[in-house]
Amino acid sequence: MKIIEPKKRIRIKDIAERANVSIGTIDRVLHNRGEVNAETKERVMKILEELDYQPNILASTLASKKTVSFAILFPEPQSDESYWNKPMNGVKQAFNELQTYGIKISVFRFSQTDSRTFAEQSAKILEEQFDGVVMAPFFSRESCRLVTELNARNIPFVFIDSDIKDCEKISYIGQNSYQSGALSAKLFDYTLPGPASILILHFAKEMDNHNHLVQREKGFYEYFRQNDPKGENKLITLEIENPSDKSFFGKVKQTMDQDGNVRGIFVTNSQVYRIAEFLEQQNLQHIRLIGHDLIRENAAFLRSGVIDFLICQRPEEQGYKAVTTLFEHVVMKKTVMNENYTSIDIITKENIDYYK
């Protein structure tokens, strides 16, 4: 039988006795408060190191009256059930667990179709003095600008959903989009009975501004290049700028008629339900349909069998992790992981009810 026990905690008082100074002095050393004789400071620091002092967070936050405040910069969700509510729920859960430690969260929303709103909200964030920022770097250019300002002000930040390389982020929380595309490709490869054509649909304007859609497509193509070197399967990419306008149905229909052998459709984001509507309407249910994200509309089509697989990324967990990671960095002063790839999950009719 093995027993796991917490090790004996070292208190400030112990350090004080050991260094033969008062508690107040230790406090000054720990928090760079007031002034301490250089020699004394060094002595205390050595003992702190030696005894591996870890502050008691309970007592610390109990005594301290200051609260940390974080800013969240997320896209505006289009409806109550759309994707961006899910990371937000994770944020709320993190808040619930951390609220005893004194935390305040301000949420800023921008429009997914208007990059100026992103800049506006960025400016608002910079006006206040936040202790940390969680942001979805949705628009590359505007995000970089915000990042520069945050760095100048020494405000730590974490990315969620998509990533920007080579900036001083604390952490990135999200999927490896390339690999997620490869996984989708594998599912087609395994489940299509023979060589066929597969349609890849992007629902987005300014594709090149959305790096993770590009990455997903890349991973998808790369899979087939490796596993179908002879190119027996045919891949056709279509971009649809305005998903809410149903006129794209015609475009899709035309492409399919022209090819004649389209057996699978891959949608690179959560808008897969729009094409599901189309397939249902046209009674084309033999077509294998794979998309992303478990939003309500998609869940319904998954249950009814129009959508076969959904690739998901635990958005709640992402929101939760983003906040807790930031908290650990700012309050606990722990070193956190710089990249935190979330799982790439496959959801079907059979396991949807248990997905969290």
Partner DNA sequence: AAAAATTCCGTGTACGAACACGACATTTCA
Partner DNA sequence: TGAAATGTCGTGTTCGTACACGGAATTTTT
Is-contact 132 155, C-beta < 8 A? yes
Closest to a second copy by CB, 87 vs 243, is 87
The pattern of x and - marking residues 41 through 80 that bind DNA according to CB under 7 A reads x-------------xx--xx-xxxxx--------------
Give dist(CA 259, CA 214) in Å, integer. Answer: 24
Give dist(CA 40, CA 53) in Å, integer. Answer: 17
Provide the CA 73 distance to its chain's centre, in angstroms. Answer: 12
Give dist(CA 245, CA 324) in Å, integer. Answer: 39
Give dist(CA 13, CA 137) in Å, integer. Answer: 45
Binding site partner of 227, from a second copy, DNA, none, Cβ cut-off 5-8 A by kind: none
Burial group, residue 310, by CB count within 10 angstroms (0-12, 13-18, 19+):
buried
Closest to a second copy by CB, 123 vs 251, is 123
Asked if 165 interacts with DNA (CB under 7 A), we say no
- Residue 274 is encoded by which pair of tokens? 């729009």
In the complex, the smallest distance separating the C-beta of residue 19 from DNA, rounded to whole angstroms, is: 9
Residue type, 317: E
Closest to DNA by CB, 65 vs 356, is 65
Restricted to residues 8-27, the positions that interact with DNA (CB under 7 A) are 9, 11-13, 21-25, 27
* Spatial CB neighbours of 214, under 8 Å, sequence gap ≥ 6: 207, 208
Restricted to residues 32-51, the positions that interact with a second copy (CB under 8 A) are none
Phi/psi at 306 (5° precision)? -70, -45
In the complex, the smallest distance separating the C-beta of residue 127 from DNA, rounded to whole angstroms, is: 24
Asked if 3 interacts with DNA (CB under 7 A), we say no
Residue 306's CB is within 10 A of a number of other CB atoms, namely: 21
Restricted to residues 99-128, the positions that interact with a second copy (CB under 8 A) are 99-109, 124
Binding site partner of 343, from DNA, a second copy, none, Cβ cut-off 5-8 A by kind: a second copy
Q: Which stretch binds DNA (CB under 7 A): 31-39, 110-118, 218-226, 268-276?
A: 31-39
320 three-state secondary structure: helix
Asked if 316 interacts with a second copy (CB under 8 A), we say no
Q: Which stretch binds DNA (CB under 7 A): 32-40, 275-283, 304-312, 316-324?
A: 32-40
Is-contact 147 164, C-beta < 8 A? yes
Asked if 229 interacts with a second copy (CB under 8 A), we say no
Asked if 218 interacts with a second copy (CB under 8 A), we say no
Q: Applying CB under 7 A, which residues contact DNA? A: 9, 11-13, 21-25, 27-28, 30-31, 33-38, 40-41, 55-56, 59-60, 62-66
